[in-house]
Amino acid sequence: MAPPRGRSELLDVLGEPRLRGRDLLSINDLSADEARLILDVAARLKRSKFDETQTLFAKGQTLVMLFEKPSLRTRVTFEAGMTQLGGHAIYYETRLGQRETVPDIAHNLERWVDGVMARVFEHKHVVDLAANASIPIINGLSDLEHPCQALADFQTLIEHKGDIAGKKLAFVGDGNNVAHSLMLLAAKLGVNFSLGHPAGYEPLPEIVERAKSDASVSGATITLTHDAREAVDGADAVYTDVWASMGQEDEAAERAKVFAPFQLNANLMKHAHKRAIVMHCLPAHRGEEIAADVLDGEQSVVFDEAENRMHAQKAVLALVL
């Protein structure tokens, strides 16, 4: 890394106290201002990737990455991100609660390392880690939420659409972990969120209730519909995710039938704004939840989202560790 010319725009972030020591289990752990702070730091880190000030944020610090499920993006971006911030990451594949209790794992880890990122089946497990460890716990995907994904996605939305307040983000498909985190962040940041989903695959009522409450403050709208076209109508960004999440593989055949009318394809995209961006957290299944020509088309920003996983998570690490 070459030294920056002039004063580094990262110096102000070094002593930033607002999120120090905090967990990120849910988007609900952040106020709107705190979410904006993370997105601002993420943009700065992205702009100044050759600034050696970056290596001061996690100098001498270690992050443990617990994985109960597979990963490409989360694993590589957290590990490379820690390296770029001057620290180190340990990959640990496990099933939480099987060999020893989650509190015992937390009490061990807090004696050795500076933070934990965990990808778990049950959201309760990240909550239990956080309740029993004095170090920051970051949710790298649970059955309830995927907050790091939503932060990276909003960084991407801002890059492509500028001022996002009042813009419309549509999600078509399952009311799942990714939909939950996107809905909660949209509500906080004043982005109108519309979810088109089949009956029986709703987001959790308590998530919708919280999003609506935050939306009443930010001025956003939260809309749920069983009509994919209505969801996408006039949207500035259209998002989808797999129909069967990790752990739901045995439901895949049934879900493929139910979700077929919600495929994100060129016909559906005709209902969005003509300059709408196409978003997907990846991995994608071409020909299932998204048509190949849409995923690989010129409106697609899916690899920007993947890149921004790195920057958004580095911002989280820089602020909480």
Q: To the nearest whole angstrom, how small is the minimum distance from the Cβ of residue 252 to ligand NVA?
A: 11
For ligand NVA, give the closer residue by CB, 141 or 272: 141
Q: Which does 72 bind (CB under 5 to 8 A by kind): ligand CP, ligand NVA, none?
A: ligand CP
Name the catalytic one among 146, 255, 273, 280. 146
Q: Are strands 115-119 and 88-93 parallel, antiparallel or unpaired?
A: unpaired
Q: Is 281 among the residues known to form the active site?
A: yes
What's the burial of 20, exposed, middle or buried (CB within 10 Å: 0-12/13-18/19+)? exposed
Query: What's the min distance (Å) between Cβ of 312 and ligand NVA?
Result: 14
**Nearer Cβ to ligand NVA (214/241):** 241
Please state, as a whole number, how many other Cβ atoms lie within 10 Å of the Cβ of residue 200: 8
Contact between 305 and ligand NVA per CB under 6 A: no
For residue 237, the cross-strand partners are 169, 277
Catalytic residue among 149, 155, 263, 313: 149
Minimum gap (Å) between residue 263 Cβ and ligand NVA: 16
Say whether 236 is catalytic: no
Task: Restricting to residues 238-297, name those near ligand NVA by CB under 6 A.
Answer: 241-242, 245-246, 281
**Which one of residues 54, 61, 71, 155 is an interface residue with ligand CP (CB under 6 A)?**
71
Least Å distance between CB 77 and ligand NVA? 12
Closer by beta carbon to ligand NVA, 137 or else 281: 281
309 classed as catalytic = yes
- Does 250 qualify as catalytic in the annotation? no
301 binding ligand CP? (CB under 6 A)? no
- Stretch near ligand NVA under the rule CB under 6 A, chosen from 86-94, 171-179, 284-292, 313-321: 171-179
Task: Collect all residues with Cβ–Cβ distance below 8 Å to 158 and sequence separation of at least 6.
Answer: 39, 43, 164
Size of the site for ligand CP (CB under 6 A): 8
The question of whether 241 is a catalytic residue gets the answer yes
Q: Interface with ligand CP includes 72 (CB under 6 A)?
A: yes
Binding window for ligand CP (CB under 6 A); candidates: 14-22, 43-51, 66-74, 101-109: 66-74
Residues 20-39 that bind ligand NVA (CB under 6 A): none
SS3 of the chain: the string is CCCCCCCCCCHHHHCCCCCCCCCECCHHHCCHHHHHHHHHHHHHHHHCCCCHHHHHCCCCCEEEEEECCCCCHHHHHHHHHHHHCCCEEEEEECCCCCCCCHHHHHHHHHHHCCEEEEECCCHHHHHHHHHHCCCCEEECCCCCCCHHHHHHHHHHHHHHHCCCCCCEEEEECCCCHHHHHHHHHHHHHCCEEEEECCCCCCCCHHHHHHHHHHHHHHCCCEEEECCHHHHHCCCCEEEECCCCCCCCHHHHHHHHHHHHHHCECHHHHCCCCCCCEEEECCCCCECCCECHHHHCCCCECHHHHHHHHHHHHHHHHHHHC
Is 148 one of the annotated active-site residues of the chain?
A: no
Q: Are 183 and 208 in contact (CB under 8 A)?
A: yes
Which one, 53 or 245, has the nearer CB to ligand NVA? 245
Q: Does 149 bind ligand CP (CB under 6 A)?
A: yes
x-marked contacts with ligand CP along 278-297 as a string, rule CB under 6 A: ---xx---------------
80 binds ligand NVA (CB under 6 A): no
The site for ligand NVA (CB under 6 A) is made up of 141, 176-178, 241-242, 245-246, 281
Catalytic positions are 119, 146, 149, 241, 281, 309
